[in-house]
Chains A and B, each alone.
Chain A
């Protein structure tokens, strides 16, 4: 039986659809106020302590079974390497690297360790349409290669340019990035390999909330030794890895233009419309079409009857 949709039915359908859309919207706004897992762990990196020994790089290489490096980890000529006008960065063979920054007016250079900062609300996670990323209650942002399709949107989404792609294998798409030693250490309550290897205790592992206190205590108790800022406390909505620096952060290569709110907030308003567009619009416009063509159809029907 081919019964054209009536006015009442159409309105009812529209009402149900918009109610569903509103419900899904309320769920979204709850997620926006997520302030991180209460017992999430983190690492405080104190640039004033780092001496650039690269022990963390060696420890990471061993722990994550990464390929042997081109130069041994005690070769400090890597600090002078420039690739496309930029200092070294993380790639598929190294989840963490240390770079040197010669700052005019300072007697000694600063060294900065770079790895995934494990954001509280990761942009990589929100950008991934197959949900390959997970933010665990322990604080790590981990990645599941089994569902990854290799679109590399996460690489563009990350404000710190951390996820890298394994270009060496064409058929097994895989993002390579620091996982906070999640499987091997974090779940057992142990510090990541790099932290344990650091001789200078430039890396402090602990509950993120305690680390913020600790970082502020160091700033307070050593007047003049640090810039009064904890990089990562609010950057990108807060990160598990945070930094203390004796020199302005931009001089040590930090991007100080990273927004102080989750990257998600910039696209949330737009993204929340997408499901509505996809579910309501087809029904709505199909309805309009049916209403608009109803009279024509009825007339055609009559004509047909008349002919018979």
Chain B
């Protein structure tokens, strides 16, 4: 059997092009970290160990990252401007969605007539507005503690356990009598 060296070379080149990431092409899930610890706002709830790998298998990148990973967003409203937007230098949620929301900076920005994204959710809003509807749809946990457990500060905030203590105290009193 005679092999054509030129054809072999072309085949190898094609194979390489298929496997190696090349600059200018869209990011894919393997470029991303396996897990992301979401702890930026952890105060009432404990940090979330978010399995990026698991979620990347369930949904296309653009469902969460909009146009920033180089995949075209299908939302007609976003496509108006971002139909041909390349991969962005930042893809992390917190780099666009601010931790502090509705503070004077954001309130002033909302009045800027040159700014289109006047209704961009903050970080906490972005997570919940994106995660919850999908969790509800796919029957994944959708109650608060299904994703993040309450901290002690959180329990105090929601007044959890106080009633039980109060009742116990009452029961003690009635025993005494």
A4 sits at the interface (CB 8 A): no
Q: A199-B124, A214-B110 are in contact. Are A68 and B162 (CB under 8 A)?
A: yes
Question: Are B104 and A210 within 8 A (Cβ)?
Answer: no
A41-63 residues at the B interface, CB under 8 angstroms: 41, 49, 51, 53-54, 58-59, 61-62
Q: A207-B107, A207-B110 are in contact. Are A195 and B128 (CB under 8 A)?
A: no
The number of chain B residues with a CB under 8 A from chain A is: 27
Question: Are B160 and A189 within 8 A (Cβ)?
Answer: no
Question: Are A205 and B107 within 8 A (Cβ)?
Answer: yes
A58, A74, A190 pick with most chain B CB within 10 angstroms: A74
Q: Tell me, in angstroms, the Cα distance from A201 to B132 when the chains sit together.
A: 12
B154-166 vs A, CB cutoff 8 Å, 1 = contact: the mask equals 0001111111000
A191 sits at the interface (CB 8 A): yes
Residues of B within 8 A of A163 (CB): none
A228 sits at the interface (CB 8 A): no
Question: Are A72 and B118 within 8 A (Cβ)?
Answer: no
Q: Tell me, in angstroms, the Cα distance from A61 to B157 when the chains sit together.
A: 9
B77, B107, B121, B162 pick with most chain A CB within 10 angstroms: B107
Question: Are B132 and A58 within 8 A (Cβ)?
Answer: no
Query: What DSSP secondary structure best describes chain B's contact surface?
Result: helix
Q: Tell me, in angstroms, the Cα distance from A189 to B108 when the chains sit together.
A: 11
A71 sits at the interface (CB 8 A): yes
CB contact between A200 and one of B119, B125, B160 (< 8 Å): that residue: B125
Question: Are B119 and A191 within 8 A (Cβ)?
Answer: no
Q: A214-B118, A221-B77 are in contact. Are A72 and B162 (CB under 8 A)?
A: yes
Q: Tell me, in angstroms, the Cα distance from A74 to B161 when the chains sit together.
A: 11
A214-245 vs B, CB cutoff 8 Å, 1 = contact: the mask equals 10011001000000000000000000000000
Question: Are B107 and A201 within 8 A (Cβ)?
Answer: no
Question: Are A201 and B159 within 8 A (Cβ)?
Answer: no
Question: Are B118 and A53 within 8 A (Cβ)?
Answer: no
A196 sits at the interface (CB 8 A): yes
B122 sits at the interface (CB 8 A): yes
A123-166 vs B, CB cutoff 8 Å, 1 = contact: the mask equals 00000000000000000000000000000000000000000000
With contacts A205-B102, A206-B110, A210-B107 known, what are 6 further pairs, Cβ within 8 A? A58-B158, A59-B157, A189-B104, A200-B132, A201-B121, A210-B118
7 tightest Cβ-Cβ pairs between the two chains A and B: A201-B125, A191-B102, A205-B102, A73-B158, A189-B104, A199-B128, A72-B160
